[in-house]
Amino acid sequence: MIRKWIRNTRMGYIPSQSGIMRRMLREEGGWQSHLLKTSEYIQQAVKRQNPRSIRILGSGWLLDVPIKYLMDNCEKVVLTDIAHPNQIINKYSKFKNIEFEPLDITNGIVDHGYKQRKKSYNHEQFIKEIENTHQMEFSEEMIISVNLLSQLSIILTDYLSKNLGLTNSQVIEIAKAIQNRHIDLLPKGKSVLIADYEEEYFNEDDRLIGSKPSVYIPFPKGEERREWRWSFDSKMMYREDCKTILRVAAVRL
């Protein structure tokens, strides 16, 4: 338990979760429309499918999850995250139909990455490990991956880059392998995927000056695709000297 907490802190999972809350408060209105659109998309999909049990992947602070609606309409709601914020555990653990499952959704790749050392790192082998990881299976009637896909690889590759000195193409290869595995994990016919897939950079005059993918695999076509922009950072703190807007897509798989 303590080892995992130390790992999650050192690798940046816990600091990045606190960072989400700080940025959301700093950005005020800029995040609201994204959070609302995500929540509404989930609520519509649940209304249509009417599952008895549901699992949220990347639940975090539940900022983008219509938790009250899910609690009122599902017999069981399983919240899944590598680390649940204490405030969320304190607030929701008294409800009988809410379960918390602290879980690395890559099924062990985080721990594997934590153990890598610069001297012995073998990139091809690391990619194979990701590709061959045993795939988890979820028993719930509906699975929602919420603003998680890009995060699954970014936090890990930032950590590995700092410690192992990865090249840019190695970072992209790891991201592709992790993102592919995540899409495979989502059972077809009963999943929702909501994820940012591109970062757009704007200067002070709001002129587009560049962009970079955050998802390196083709975004699944799915059904009922919706798209919007998430005004992620207007204070020029995520990337220095530019504002960042994320392009987000939502689909039913």
> Is 215 among the residues that bind ligand SAM (CB under 6 A)?
no
Q: From 140-148, 200-208, 222-230, 243-251, give the range in contact with ligand SAM by CB under 6 A.
A: 140-148
Q: How many Å from the N-terminal Cα to the C-terminal Cα in the chain?
A: 34
Taking the complex as a whole, the smallest distance from the CB of residue 14 to ligand SAM amounts, in Å, to 8
- Residue ranges in 55-114 that form contacts with ligand SAM under rule CB under 6 A: 58-65, 81-83, 104-106, 110
Q: Which residues contact 141 (CB under 8 A, 6 or more apart)?
A: 49, 51, 52, 53, 54, 190
Residue 142, phi-psi category: left (phi > 0), alpha (psi -120 to 50), beta (remainder):
beta
Closest CA to 166 of 127, 202, 197: 127
> Is 20 among the residues that bind ligand SAM (CB under 6 A)?
yes
Cβ distance to ligand SAM smaller for residue 131 or 203: 131
Taking the complex as a whole, the smallest distance from the CB of residue 88 to ligand SAM amounts, in Å, to 9
How far apart are alpha carbons 30 and 22 in whole angstroms? 13
CA angle 21, 240, 150 (to 5 degrees): 50
Q: From 12-20, 169-177, 209-217, 235-243, give the range in contact with ligand SAM by CB under 6 A.
A: 12-20
> Is 155 among the residues that bind ligand SAM (CB under 6 A)?
yes
| Residue of closest CB approach to ligand SAM | 60
Closest CA to 99 of 75, 78, 72, 71: 78
How far apart are alpha carbons 126 and 108 in whole angstroms? 12
Q: From 117-125, 148-156, 159-167, 202-210, give the range in contact with ligand SAM by CB under 6 A.
A: 148-156
How far does CA 135 lie from the centroid of its chain? 17
- AA identity, residue 181: R
Cβ distance to ligand SAM smaller for residue 60 or 66: 60
The number of beta carbons lying within 10 Å of the beta carbon of residue 206 is 9
How far apart are alpha carbons 78 and 97 in whole angstroms? 8
Taking the complex as a whole, the smallest distance from the CB of residue 61 to ligand SAM amounts, in Å, to 4
Please identify which residue in 66, 77, 144, 147 interacts with ligand SAM, judged by CB under 6 A: 147
Q: From 143-151, 183-191, 229-237, 242-250, give the range in contact with ligand SAM by CB under 6 A.
A: 143-151
Cβ distance to ligand SAM smaller for residue 29 or 189: 29
Residues near ligand SAM (CB under 6 A): 13, 17, 20, 58-65, 81-83, 104-106, 110, 146-148, 151-152, 155
